């Protein structure tokens, strides 16, 4: 038996106390209710004696060992009707009985209340005893299933918060688009299934595999697929569950987890968000965290403790390998690192195919068009997209998902929920100019992506939106492309300035300006695209609260800082000038487009370009 009576008592103590009060509260009034019968008026003992003397008392019933009497009396004060009255009697009232006898009043003593204390006691204990018995049964039963609530309930020991899935039911075919990671894992499945192939030639089976990649790329799915393919149990815990308020709890959880895993080998241990425990130790920011360090040390000890050939493989996932403690990455621990990235076009198409299998999709919907439109989407985003589209389809009572619902789904995932359109007003006009400004600058610049649509229907935070068709290859971006993006982003504000005047510009451009500044700053400090020259002056932001990020103070002099600011300003001013020129040169088209947009609320890219073509030439995009 895994539980002790002590632990049950500890557990049930509060329950007993609570039920005691409950019981008291619930039943006490009922028992006393039966005492006073229907007597709703009271009388003092003195008055009672007078009533006896006057011959007004007809009957006396004694209760509670003679402490209480319910009398039936009639008298002028009682409206000359027989009434039941309750009287509290003094402790010793020997004269009363004689008196009653003399007056020949009907007297009766009720013995039911002779032993109320015993009854109360039994009553009070009944519920708690029932509870303890049922609790014990529950514990005993759940202890047979590994990791059931019995585990979580055993007190004193750590609460084991890991989950166990005997069969994950996930196979490699459910994972798409991340082929390199899959290949790596197919080998691990072989380790688990046929360890003798490897041990025969003296090879050591790896103990730990670290999966690195952004959220939603299928890390958990992949880990489950290994367990599913190898047909072994899957133990999982999240790093954040190790880290507890109390020092030592995390470490004992690690011990429990490995103990349970060893009993069930071969198996997979999956530690999600390992960065929560595995962060670089000893940076001291935010105070040293003893608990976390102890947990990590325990994890390292456990990983060293089992032989490579016991058939346990620890898979851990993180989105930041750079902040992990180097001790974790040493050979013999997580010595294999597998990167899982945001899928490319082919990957997205494959993932869509997997998730489209169980959905009814119209035959003229081409998944490759969807894949084309969703660069930057993770596997989870794509799964979510198809699900959103299916929900929309059901809501519209259609029987198949069409491109329309998928489009709506994409928009919703990128920009948030659709709001209701503004009514015609000055601000709607201003927003229309702002959006058309973005769209026309984007269209007329050779290096800018094409407009996909312009809309005045609010979504999420945005009041109006201009969508551009994202280009597939986002990894290498040229200087002129960045500049084109800066100009496109400035297009909204620039149009406001020209059409409404300097004093009428609004706060609506704040997000645009943030992007503009950040792009310009990166051109100067990271990409070496300014007059300062090809210097890398800043790294990609890293969070100063996490491990190694600490040393990321800017390593340039104040003099350089001033130069950087000047360069940023120069780039933005230059782009602003050019943007203003485009707007001024095309004012007539802009006015025309704004009228159409206000009327239709959405113009799609094709139509947008057709209208512009009537007035001016659109450069061929590269």
List, as residue ranges, the binding site for Zn(2+).
434, 438, 512
Number of chain positions touching ligand ADP (CB under 6 A): 18
Q: Please say if 435 is a catalytic residue.
A: yes
- Considering only the stretches 230-238, 470-478, 507-515, 542-550, report the one whose residues sit in contact with Zn ion under the rule CB under 5 A: 507-515
Binds ligand ADP by CB under 6 A, chosen from 128, 206, 208, 216:
216
Residue 165's contacts (CB-CB under 8 Å, 6 or more residues apart) are: 224, 227, 233, 234, 236
Q: Which is nearer to Zn ion, 98 or 507 (CB)?
A: 507
Q: Are 399 and 436 in contact (CB under 8 A)?
A: no
Q: How far apart are CA 128 and CA 8, in angstroms?
A: 12
Closer by beta carbon to ligand ADP, 317 or else 520: 317
CB 407 within 8 A of CB 362: no
CB of 215 to ligand ADP, least distance (A): 4
Out of Mg ion, Zn ion, ligand ADP, none, what residue 271 binds, judged by CB under 5 to 8 A for its kind, is none
Binding pattern to ligand ADP, positions 383-422, x when CB under 6 A? x---------------------------------------
- Which positions make up the binding site for ATP? 213-220
Q: Give the DSSP letter of residue 401.
A: B
- 218 is a contact residue toward ligand ADP (CB under 6 A): yes
Distance CA 16, CA 492 (A): 68
- Residue 351 DSSP code: H
Widest Cα–Cα separation across the chain:
126
Closest CA to 608 of 593, 618, 598, 621: 593
What are the DSSP calls for 444-484, one per residue?
H-TTSPPEEEEE-S-BTTBSSEEEEPPPS--S---HHHHHH
Among residues 435, 449, 496, 497, which one is catalytic? 435
Quote the distance between the C-alpha of residue 615 and its chain's center: 51
Distances (CA, A) of 335 to 202, 295, 314: 18, 19, 11
The distance of closest approach from Cβ of residue 170 to ligand ADP in the complex, given in angstroms and rounded to an integer, is 9
Tokens, residue 24: 């008291």
Per DSSP bridges, beta strands 57-63 and 312-318 are: unpaired
Nearer to Mg ion, 220 or 495 (CB): 220
351 binding partner (options ligand ADP, Mg ion, Zn ion, none; Cβ < 5 to 8 Å by kind): ligand ADP
Structure tokens at 563: 């130069």
Comparing CB distances to ligand ADP, the nearer of 272 and 449 is 272
Is-contact 471 373, C-beta < 8 A?
no
CA–CA distance, 393 with 317 (Å, rounded to integer)? 35
What's the CA gap between 382 and 344, in Å, rounded?
Answer: 12
Pick the binder of ligand ADP from 233, 239, 250, 379 (CB under 6 A): 379
Which residue's Cβ lies closest to ligand ADP? 379
Beta strands across the sheet bearing 163-165: 163-165, 234-238, 267-272, 312-318, 208-212, 336-339
Alpha helices in 169-209 (DSSP H): 179-193, 195-200
Stretch that binds Zn ion, among 91-99, 380-388, 484-492, 530-538 (CB under 5 A): 484-492
Q: How far is the CB of 621 from Zn ion (least distance, A)?
A: 21
Q: Of Zn ion, ligand ADP, Mg ion, none, which one does residue 512 interact with (CB within 5 to 8 Å by kind)?
A: Zn ion
Distance CA(504)–CA(21), nearest Å, equals 69
268 binds ligand ADP (CB under 6 A): no
Q: Residue 492's binding partner, choosing from Zn ion, Mg ion, ligand ADP, none, with beta-carbon cut-off 5 to 8 A by kind?
A: Zn ion
Nearer to ligand ADP, 213 or 437 (CB): 213
Of 43, 164, 188, 221, the one binding ligand ADP (CB under 6 A) is 221
Residue from 184, 273, 497, 512 touching Zn ion (CB under 5 A): that is: 512
Judged by CB, which is closer to ligand ADP: 381, or 411? 381
Which option in Zn ion, ligand ADP, Mg ion, none does residue 373 bind, with CB closer than 5 to 8 A by kind?
none
Distances in Å between the Cα of 28 and the Cα atoms of 128, 424, 525 are 17, 69, 78
**Among 343, 458, 492, 605, contact with Zn ion (rule: CB under 5 A):** 492
Q: Which is nearer to Mg ion, 174 or 538 (CB)?
A: 174
Q: Which does 380 bind (CB under 5 to 8 A by kind): Mg ion, ligand ADP, Zn ion, none?
A: ligand ADP
| 318 lies in the binding site for ligand ADP (CB under 6 A) | no
Q: In the complex, which residues of this chain contact ligand ADP (CB under 6 A)?
A: 175-178, 213, 215-221, 317, 351, 354, 379-380, 383
Active site residues: 435
Binding site for Zn ion (CB under 5 A): 492, 512
């Amino acid at each position: 038996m895994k539980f002790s009576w002590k632990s049950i008592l500890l557990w049930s103590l509060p329950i007993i106390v609570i039920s005691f009060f409950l019981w008291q509260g619930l039943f006490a009034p009922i028992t006393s209710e039966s005492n006073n019968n229907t007597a709703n008026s009271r009388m003092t003992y003195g008055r009672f004696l007078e009533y006896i003397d006057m011959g007004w008392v007809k009957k006396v019933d004694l209760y509670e060992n003679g402490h209480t009497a319910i009398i039936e009396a009639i008298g002028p004060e009682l409206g000359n009707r027989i009434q039941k009255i309750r009287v509290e009697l003094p402790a010793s009232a020997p004269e009363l009985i004689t008196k009653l006898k003399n007056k020949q009043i009907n007297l009766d003593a009720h013995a039911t209340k002779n032993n109320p204390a015993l009854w109360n006691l039994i009553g009070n204990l009944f519920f708690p005893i029932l509870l303890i018995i049922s609790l014990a049964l529950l514990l005993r039963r759940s202890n047979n299933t590994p990791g059931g609530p019995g585990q979580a309930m055993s007190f004193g020991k750590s609460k084991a918060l890991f989950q166990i899935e005997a069969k994950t039911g996930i196979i490699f075919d459910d994972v798409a688009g991340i082929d390199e990671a899959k290949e790596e894992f197919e080998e691990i499945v072989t380790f688990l299934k046929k360890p003798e192939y490897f041990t025969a030639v003296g090879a050591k089976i790896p103990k730990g595999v670290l999966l690195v990649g952004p959220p939603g790329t299928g890390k958990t799915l992949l880990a489950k697929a290994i367990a599913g393919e190898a047909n072994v149990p899957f133990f999982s815990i999240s790093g954040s569950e190790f880290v507890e308020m109390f020092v030592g709890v995390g470490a004992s959880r690690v011990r429990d987890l490995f103990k349970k895993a060893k009993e069930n080998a071969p198996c997979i241990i999956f530690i999600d968000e390992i960065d929560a425990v595995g962060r670089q130790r000893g940076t001291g920011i935010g105070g040293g965290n003893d608990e976390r360090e102890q947990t990590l040390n325990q994890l390292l000890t456990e990983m060293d403790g089992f032989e490579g050939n016991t058939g346990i493989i620890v898979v851990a996932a993180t989105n930041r390998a750079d902040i992990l403690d180097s001790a974790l990455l040493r050979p013999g621990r997580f010595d294999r690192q597998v990167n899982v990235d945001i899928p490319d076009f082919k990957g997205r198409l494959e993932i869509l195919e997997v998730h489209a299998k169980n959905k009814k999709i119209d035959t003229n919907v081409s998944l490759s068009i969807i894949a084309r439109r969703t660069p930057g989407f993770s596997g989870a985003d794509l799964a979510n997209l198809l699900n959103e589209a299916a929900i929309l389809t059901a809501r519209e009572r259609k029987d198949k998902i069409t491109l329309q619902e998928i489009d709506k789904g994409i928009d919703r995932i990128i920009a948030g929920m659709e709001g209701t359109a503004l009514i015609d007003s000055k601000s709607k006009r201003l927003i229309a100019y702002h959006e058309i400004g973005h769209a026309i600058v984007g269209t007329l610049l050779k290096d800018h992506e094409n407009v996909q649509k312009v809309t005045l229907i609010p979504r999420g935070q945005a009041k109006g939106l201009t969508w551009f068709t994202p280009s597939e290859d986002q990894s290498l971006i040229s200087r002129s492309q960045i500049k084109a993006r800066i100009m496109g982003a400035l297009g909204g504000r620039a149009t406001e300035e020209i059409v409404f005047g300097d004093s009428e510009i609004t706060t609506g451009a704040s997000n645009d300006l943030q992007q503009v500044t950040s792009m310009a700053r990166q051109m100067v400090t990271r990409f070496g695209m300014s007059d300062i020259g090809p210097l890398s002056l800043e790294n990609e932001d890293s969070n100063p609260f996490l491990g190694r990020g600490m040393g990321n103070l800017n390593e340039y002099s104040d003099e350089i800082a001033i130069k950087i600011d000047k360069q940023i300003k120069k780039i933005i001013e230059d782009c602003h000038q050019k943007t203003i020129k485009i707007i001024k040169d095309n004012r007539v088209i802009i006015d025309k487009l704004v009228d159409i947009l206000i009327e239709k609320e959405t113009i799609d890219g094709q139509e947008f370009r057709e209208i512009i073509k009537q007035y001016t030439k659109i450069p061929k995009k590269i």
